[in-house]
Structure 1
């Protein structure tokens, strides 16, 4: 198996799986349907086009920088100045960064990598108001989704990496393998993006943790001091000797 890695980072992101009407929620991490939609846009697929070979891909996302939930209160009026539209609350993730891993056939993933590099449609992080801050794709790599997410360096902001240890523990949300213990279930398995008949199946998810390398990190004692004090590591005043 091969894995396509995507770095999803920007000032704002929004990955809704249960949004309805005037309440536009966001999950705490990118959804599978959102990332599959991003790949479909990169390939130039219309919403009414079949997803076909994108439906069987494995998916996992590593939370490198959780960010913060931001609420945007919006009101709209029609162009003719008539009655105002319903008030809406739109929620976003602010200052977040994620590493998404898509596992599948290497030939298919190579094509998706090239499509993301030169997308047919503009790519967004969930909503059109959420552009990425840098090129998204990190290439195609051999191995399983879990292996690649455990080996790839931490993708948080440099100011955070420099204050942390040489290895950091990061949460991973992934497709639950058959027979595994499911942590939670989302209606997040895309079937069709057709506006007239959107379809999503239930997706079982398992939450795990991986130890990721941090090339910009510090030794444990220095990292604990930089992050706010000795409560995060055993205090040994003679350690530097």
Structure 2
């Protein structure tokens, strides 16, 4: 077994699970359907292709930088039918968020996915097509399990965020139950894609655990120590 470690960062992200129609909300952490879709696009899979092997990957997501929720009042116009009633919608995004995702599975599959992320067949997105990721997307692949990499991967927040925080940072984690079976705090999310086929889209529920981990911050400052960059906080 190997673990694929991704850094999911960009100006905007949107990870919907239950939302449809005119109100498109976002989860506060990347969904399994969104990440599976990103991996499938990297490999050049079509929406009608099988995705069972990708769905079978175990997943954990760490929140390295929370970001802020933004609402977009979305309008549309059809130049061919200017008088047609087109529904208005509210679409929600996460601004300036940074996550690390840990996907565990067979080594051959993980290595193939890593190669595809570096040279993707289709454009990649953080949930919605308009949400473009900021490189680097691929951090590493490891023979360690996802639960170990959750602790071993240094904080991936933005530079100013890292400098303004302590050398050890507590981060929220959302993971498949099999990754952290000892955790008691659990919830169900309908984000397991059974089919991306536009004519037969289907999703199933996933039980996840929610917890926190303490993460090393290589650019952090010692508690109570002098920080020469404090006056520049938020500018870098």
What aligned pairs does 1:25-40 form with structure 2 within 5 A after superposition?
Answer: 25-40=25-40
Counterpart of 1:91? Answer: 92
Counterpart of 2:53? Answer: 53
2-side partners of 1:223 and 1:203: how far apart?
46
2-side partners of 1:84 and 1:139: how far apart?
48
Kept after mapping to 2: 8 A contact 1:125/1:132: yes
Offset of residue 52 of structure 1: 2.7
1-side partners of 2:136 and 2:162: how far apart?
20
Partner SS for 1:220: coil
RMSD: 1.9
Counterpart of 1:116? Answer: 117
Offset of residue 91 of structure 1: 0.2
Counterpart of 2:190? Answer: 187
2-side partners of 1:84 and 1:222: how far apart?
61
Partner SS for 2:53: helix
Kept after mapping to 2: 8 A contact 1:61/1:173: yes
Kept after mapping to 2: 8 A contact 1:165/1:223: no
Offset of residue 139 of structure 1: 2.0
2-side partners of 1:37 and 1:83: how far apart?
32
Matched, 1:18 2:18: yes
Moved over 4 A (4+): none
TM-score (norm 2): 0.92
Offset of residue 222 of structure 1: 3.0
Counterpart of 2:206? Answer: 203
1-side partners of 2:226 and 2:56: how far apart?
41
Offset of residue 209 of structure 1: 1.1
Partner SS for 2:150: helix
Kept after mapping to 2: 8 A contact 1:78/1:84: no
Offset of residue 94 of structure 1: 0.4
Q: Report Cα offsets for 1:93-136 as digits up to 9, x if no partner.
A: 00100001100111110000000111110001111111012131
Partner SS for 1:85: coil
What aligned pairs does 1:1-241 form with structure 2 within 5 A after superposition?
Answer: 1-80=1-80, 81-177=82-178, 181-222=184-225
Q: Which runs of 5+ in 2 are unaligned?
A: 231-236
Q: Report Cα offsets for 1:160-190 as digits up to 9, x if no partner.
A: 1111111111111000126863511001112
Partner SS for 1:221: coil
Please identify, of 7-16 and 78-87, the stretch whose mean Cα deviation from structure 2 is larger.
78-87
Partner SS for 2:96: strand
Offset of residue 39 of structure 1: 0.2
Kept after mapping to 2: 8 A contact 1:217/1:223: no
Kept after mapping to 2: 8 A contact 1:168/1:213: yes
Partner SS for 1:21: coil
Offset of residue 200 of structure 1: 1.1
